[in-house]
Structure 1
Amino acid sequence: MYYPFGLWGRAFIQLSMFVVAYGAMVGYFITIKDTVPPIIGFAEGFQPELVLIVISAFLILPLSMQRDIASLSVTSLLSVTLDVVLVFFVVLYSPVIKNVSEQGGIAQIIKNDAISPNIFIGLGVLSDAMCCQHSSFLLFESLENHKRIRWATVSAISISTSAFLFLILGVSGFLGFGDETQGDVLNNFPEGSMEANVARGLLAITMIFTYPMELFVGRHVLVDLFHNGNIDCPVGRQRMTLGLYFSTLIPALFFDDLGHVLSITGAVGGSCLAYIGPGLVYIGVNSKLFLKWSDDLISSCHRKPLWWYTFGFPIWCTIAERARSGLDERLAVKTFAQIDLEESSEMAQPTPYDFLVALSFILFGVIAMFAGIGTNIYVLINPDD
């Protein structure tokens, strides 16, 4: 984003990264507050908040004080393993057969509940959960071999596995509990049951080990914005870590609805990172070819047709013009050796279809962002609708 759009593009991506990471951190704290207290019998009054404070201070904060994300490799592996176990545990104990039978079959459930006005709330949650671009640079740097093919393999396997687990968990939770499915699906299980307590314990452990990874992203953004990427600056990573820790702990002590937290941050940060940002980058990097394609579309017309304005081409061309100018300006100060042109000669030229996909990404992201925010506000104002 920096080369075509300059500091504004860089800030756009970094703030989006921070929003996604911040929402995830608050969500993890809320999850711990929901899951651990019922297991140990401290679920009354201010006890859940006290449990969260103790766990976060003595377990999460020390892990978050690490300098590099590679130091979390062991805890991350354990967290992923427990996530897989947790998914199949929920699938096994969700009352899918009972609920499907009571609702009249899967077809009837789909007919009644598949299309919901709250769909953009779910999309925000999914965008927040599946939007891993915000940590991709840190994870790439943690690899021993910084090769494109290695990164493609790692990212493809991890995203495919995550999507598969999300699908299984989402379908099982929906078929098992229907409209009553809560943001934390474990809250749908009987509070004192053994299966619920085991699942809550697994989830709490994964949250404890996953929170530091999100904090690393938030800290990276702050270091890059205010200290030019120098993590060993005089202010120190310890102070930044403490600042992020308290800024996420305080809201988690007061908020209880995990779904709205993830949905709002996902609607904003997730939409920008997953849809709007990639579309803008593609148009920006290929701005010259995009402008040529746009000119070719109306080359035979005496004046611009109505569809030119209907589909927003004046806006797209303005964005591409600014990107082309910025790209030329910033690349001009770089020597050939400083620019990474690995395999550039083998890269295929963008097609009209590619440009249409990029534009559709941007449009979808904008719609998802505003619809997600609006839907959350409506549900918060009208909780009984």
Structure 2
Amino acid sequence: MGYQAQGPDVPRQSHLDDREALISEHEHKGKTCRQCTAVFNVVNSIIGSGMIGLPYSMKQAGLPLGILLLFGVSYVTDFSLVLLIKGGALSGTDTYQSLVNKTFGFPGYLLLSVLQFLYPFIAMISYNIITGDTWSKVFQRIPGVDPENLFIGRHFIIVLSTAAFTLPLSLYRDIAKLGKISFLSTVLTTLILGIVMARVVTLGPYIPKTEDAWVLAKPSAIQALGVMSFAFICHHNCFLVYGSLEDPTVAKWSRIIHVSTLASVFISILFAACGYLTFTGFTQGDLFENYCRNDDLVTFGRFCYGVTVILTYPIECFVTREVIANVFFGGNLPLVFHIIITVAIITVAMLMSLLIDCLGRVLELSGVLCAAPLIFIIPSACYLKLSEEPRTHSDKIMSCVMLPVGAMVMVAGVVMAITNPQDCTHGQEMFYCFPDNFSLTNISVSHFQLTTQLPVLNISIFQ
């Protein structure tokens, strides 16, 4: 009897062990999924509207120096993102604002709140500009559509995309729910990169190279740093992503940031180099402005990029809304106010994007005014004040270097942006798109034909 009584316990115990193993495996997969989601959210935040201006930053800095600066900005971004979370751990805070508030008091808190609101808000404006510019050219390629049709104009497209896409997506309250959207955005970005790489081979040889195309370095490199900083900054939402992790730790966050930054800099350098090598000195602040409207492959790229920025838009809206919630509502935003504030922010951003049409200037000014302090200055200052590590510690040495560099980039960038504003050819076809007797996108046309006809058709360009 004793033996029979014990018999059923063995399979029951085995069943319990199997169940615990399945639960443990499920939890492990859930944690891994959360980390993957965090990686995609960070990459999506970095590879946003700023990427489209990176080829222009190569023109500003010179290609060799530009690539070195891009590596430098990516390294500083990686370092400062980890530094922020370390600062949060040292101060016992879980938001960028509360970290600065505990470190520098209410004045620092207000300054950061302004910067942390302005940067994503300006990014939202730039996303609207890109959507209007890219999709208007996409719809113009539809057979039978009048290019002057009001319903394919940039203003109507901005309003429509806001009402149909960005507003509903921005009403989410949990940033982790945007993980799949961020993954889709990353896939589309890869497609766009492929198109730009294809065009450097098929189109690049037919575009005349400017005299300063291969200069090592240029005086406007500071302005290039502004564009790069705008492209790489995601500090304003790092605590949001960090908080979405399962059992967040500094070590886990460091791994996520290293992977995200590595992927982002790889995509960015390829995009910047290929875009610049195609057009050299003719490169615009919005790279898609360089391509001819009758280039159907690029038209597909424009469509993909429009989708990408629409999918990135909600992440920036999350941050602007969080700043308002922290400043005015103590961090807790009731549902009604959540909806009202979201609608208000998006409406104002939409109205401003209807009035501004030069993307390059937006990226440059936002980079030097907002991105430089958020990347270089504030994380370093917070860590230096909070950390009790010796002065010779690597984190402290790097922080001491970042502070003056960030201040220099900010001051010099603002001065140069005001005294030496960039040209903007928004909405205009480039000179090499005008000839009717050949197509630049038709690779069957000989190189000799194109290079001999271009100077004749546009001789005034080079005078």
TM-score range, shorter chain: 0.7 to 0.9
* Counterpart in the other structure of 1:301: none
Aligned positions of 1:202-281 closer than 5 A: 202-232=304-334, 236-281=337-382
Moved more, 4-13 or 215-224: 4-13
Pick aligned residue for 2:176 from 36, 61, 70:
70
The unaligned stretches of length 5 or more in structure 2 are 1-99, 141-145, 426-463
Alpha carbons of 1:365 and 1:194: their partners in 2 closer, same or farther (altered >3 Å)?
same
Q: Distance in 2 between matches of 1:88 and 1:350?
A: 46
The answer to whether the Cα contact below 8 Å between 2:204 and 2:277 also exists between their aligned partners in 1 is: no
* Counterpart in the other structure of 1:21: 120
Following TM superposition, by how much is the alpha carbon of 1:88 offset from its aligned partner in structure 2, in angstroms? 2.1
Pick aligned residue for 1:52 from 140, 154, 158:
158
For each residue in 1:81-117, what CA deviation from the matched residue of structure 2 results, as whole angstroms up to 9, or x when unmatched?
1112211221111358845995499xx7322xx4233
The answer to whether the Cα contact below 8 Å between 1:16 and 1:269 also exists between their aligned partners in 2 is: yes
Q: Distance in 2 between matches of 1:383 and 1:203?
A: 20
* Counterpart in the other structure of 1:332: none
Q: Structure 1: which amino acid aligns with 2:352?
A: P
Q: Structure 1: which amino acid aligns with 2:213?
A: I
Q: Structure 1: which amino acid aligns with 2:313?
A: Y
Pick aligned residue for 1:109 from 203, 210, 213:
213
For each residue in 1:127-169, what CA deviation from the matched residue of structure 2 results, as whole angstroms up to 9, or x when unmatched?
1110111110111111223222221111111111111111111
Following TM superposition, by how much is the alpha carbon of 1:52 offset from its aligned partner in structure 2, in angstroms? 1.2
Alpha carbons of 1:355 and 1:73: their partners in 2 closer, same or farther (altered >3 Å)?
closer
The answer to whether the Cα contact below 8 Å between 2:213 and 2:281 also exists between their aligned partners in 1 is: no
Question: How many residues matched?
Answer: 319
* Counterpart in the other structure of 1:362: 403
Question: Is 2:228 the partner of 1:123?
Answer: no
Q: Structure 2: which amino acid aligns with 1:31?
A: I
Following TM superposition, by how much is the alpha carbon of 1:195 offset from its aligned partner in structure 2, in angstroms? 1.2
Q: Structure 1: which amino acid aligns with 2:136?
A: P
For each residue in 1:264-320, what CA deviation from the matched residue of structure 2 results, as whole angstroms up to 9, or x when unmatched?
11111111111111221122114xx6xxxxxxxxxxxxxxxxxxxxxxxxxxxxxxx
Q: Structure 2: which amino acid aligns with 1:254?
A: L
The answer to whether the Cα contact below 8 Å between 2:207 and 2:278 also exists between their aligned partners in 1 is: no
Alpha carbons of 1:98 and 1:88: their partners in 2 closer, same or farther (altered >3 Å)?
closer
The answer to whether the Cα contact below 8 Å between 1:95 and 1:177 also exists between their aligned partners in 2 is: no
For each residue in 1:153-206, what CA deviation from the matched residue of structure 2 results, as whole angstroms up to 9, or x when unmatched?
111111111111111111111111112111211111111211111110110110
Q: Distance in 1 between matches of 2:259 and 2:147?
A: 39
% same residue: 27
Pick aligned residue for 2:236 from 125, 134, 137:
134
The answer to whether the Cα contact below 8 Å between 2:209 and 2:279 also exists between their aligned partners in 1 is: no
The answer to whether the Cα contact below 8 Å between 1:96 and 1:172 also exists between their aligned partners in 2 is: no
Q: Distance in 2 between matches of 1:155 and 1:15?
A: 25
Q: Distance in 1 between matches of 2:247 and 2:337?
A: 29
The answer to whether the Cα contact below 8 Å between 2:185 and 2:312 also exists between their aligned partners in 1 is: yes
Following TM superposition, by how much is the alpha carbon of 1:374 offset from its aligned partner in structure 2, in angstroms? 1.7
Following TM superposition, by how much is the alpha carbon of 1:37 offset from its aligned partner in structure 2, in angstroms? 0.7
The Cα RMSD (Å) is: 2.5
Q: Distance in 2 between matches of 1:190 and 1:32?
A: 17
Q: Distance in 2 between matches of 1:64 and 1:351?
A: 44
Alpha carbons of 1:101 and 1:184: their partners in 2 closer, same or farther (altered >3 Å)?
closer
The unaligned stretches of length 5 or more in structure 1 are 290-347
Return the index of the structure with the highest Cα Rg: 2
Question: Is 2:413 the partner of 1:372?
Answer: yes
Moved more, 35-44 or 212-221: 35-44
Aligned positions of 1:284-363 closer than 5 A: 284-286=385-387, 349-351=390-392, 354-363=395-404
Q: Distance in 2 between matches of 1:350 and 1:2?
A: 24
Q: Distance in 2 between matches of 1:37 and 1:244?
A: 24
Give the TM-score taking structure 2 as reference length. Answer: 0.64
* Counterpart in the other structure of 1:305: none
Q: Distance in 2 between matches of 1:21 and 1:40?
A: 28
* Counterpart in the other structure of 2:269: 167
